[in-house]
């Protein structure tokens, strides 16, 4: 449906938008179930420019195709680009739907597949992120293939380790293991790695420090969003990368600038379970002037 020329009649005018966060990862949830309008990049950027609605990810809900799912999700980064997965945002969606009357356990459709979400406590939610994708063409990486647990960054990014581990959690991740995560210049390295020619769809760049076999300190430059206080899919990817390279266990705590996530890469089915908190900040109504 094409937006009307009169902004007052724009189908998003007056819609409720929930500002939330998952460990400081800024999230806006927009529930459009029952509405024929679909958000595009221009609308996403306009919403992110609204006072009080800046986001790292915008979670747009629409009617699901499956009768047993609560909603379908479309995920936008602040630059208007689309992401197939966002773990912190999915937990926020779970909270929003539970508070709108959904059951404590639900299914959500996403571009990364069907996700299972469960409320563990009032503000603690667990998301089954599915199995990681580990093949070159699934992540994807440019090139003919090889061992994605140990990939040489060619050409190198000065200041970054030469090797990284590649994982897709529905979106591509490059995990670099370092001795001191605080010493990494995220603002300089993040943009270089995000748009490195090895990553045809760009990449989320993570720097991980092993504090123990079951504890990772992590800083993340998110594709399309920049440096964020937390990234759920990066936490999952770093846990998978640590286990694949023998550095870590399948159950681990990941500490990000915004707080801690519990990650379990389950052996029985290879699914990655992510558990962590969400916080509701405020509710806004979308101003028609945003879409003028």
| Count of CA atoms in the C-beta half-sphere (13 A) of 228 | 32
Residues 58, 28 contacting (CB under 8 angstroms): yes
92 is catalytic: no
Query: How many other CB atoms sit within 10 Å of the CB of residue 107?
Result: 15
Residue of 84, 20, 22 whose CA lies nearest to 54? 20
Q: Which residues contact 292 (CB under 8 A, 6 or more apart)?
A: 7
Structural tokens at position 269: 């089915």
Catalytic-residue membership of 86: yes
Question: For residue 272, what are the β-bridge partners?
Answer: 265
Contact of 117 with 86, CB cutoff 8 Å: no
Mutual angle of helices 87-99 and 232-244, in 10-degree steps? 130
Q: Which ranges of the chain does DSSP label H, i.e. alpha helix?
A: 41-48, 87-99, 186-194, 232-244
From the candidates 231, 234, 256, 278, which is the catalytic residue?
A: 231
**Residue 39: C-alpha distances to residues 15, 47, 110 (Å):** 12, 10, 15
**CA-CA distance, 263 to 114, in Å (whole number)?**
19
CA triplet 201, 203, 207: central angle to 5 degrees?
Answer: 170
* Structural contact between residues 203 and 172, judged by C-beta atoms closer than 8 angstroms: yes
Distances (CA, A) of 54 to 29, 248, 286: 12, 35, 13
Contact between 19 and 58 under an 8 Å Cβ cutoff? The reply is no
Marked catalytic residue, from 29, 46, 75, 86: 86
Which active-site residues does the annotation give?
A: 86, 231
């Amino acid at each position: 449906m094409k937006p009307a020329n009169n902004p007052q009649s724009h189908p998003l005018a007056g819609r409720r938008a929930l500002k939330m966060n998952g460990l400081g990862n800024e999230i806006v949830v927009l529930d459009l179930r029952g509405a024929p309008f679909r958000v595009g990049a221009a609308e996403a950027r306009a919403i992110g420019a609204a006072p009080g609605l800046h986001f790292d990810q915008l979670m747009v809900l629409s009617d699901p195709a499956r009768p047993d799912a609560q909603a379908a999700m479309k995920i936008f980064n602040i630059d208007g680009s689309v992401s197939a997965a966002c773990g912190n945002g999915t937990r926020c969606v779970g909270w929003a739907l539970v508070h709108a009357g959904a059951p404590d356990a639900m299914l959500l459709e996403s571009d990364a597949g069907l996700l299972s979400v469960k409320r563990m406590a009032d503000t603690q939610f667990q998301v089954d992120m599915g199995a990681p994708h580990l093949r070159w063409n699934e992540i994807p990486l440019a090139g003919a293939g090889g061992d994605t647990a140990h990939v040489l960054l060619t050409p190198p990014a000065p200041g970054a380790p030469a090797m990284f581990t590649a994982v897709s959690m529905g979106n591509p991740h490059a995990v670099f293991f370092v001795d001191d995560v605080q010493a990494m210049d995220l603002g300089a390295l993040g943009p270089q790695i995000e748009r490195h020619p090895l990553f045809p769809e760009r990449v989320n760049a993570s720097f991980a420090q092993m504090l123990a076999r079951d504890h990772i300190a992590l800083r993340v430059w998110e594709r399309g969003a920049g440096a964020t206080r937390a990234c759920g899919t990066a936490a999952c990817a770093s846990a998978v990368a640590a286990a694949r390279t023998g550095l870590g266990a399948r159950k681990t705590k990941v500490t990000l600038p915004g707080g801690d996530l519990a990650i379990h890469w389950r052996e029985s089915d290879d699914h990655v379970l992510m558990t962590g908190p969400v916080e509701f900040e405020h509710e806004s109504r979308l101003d028609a002037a945003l879409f003028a």
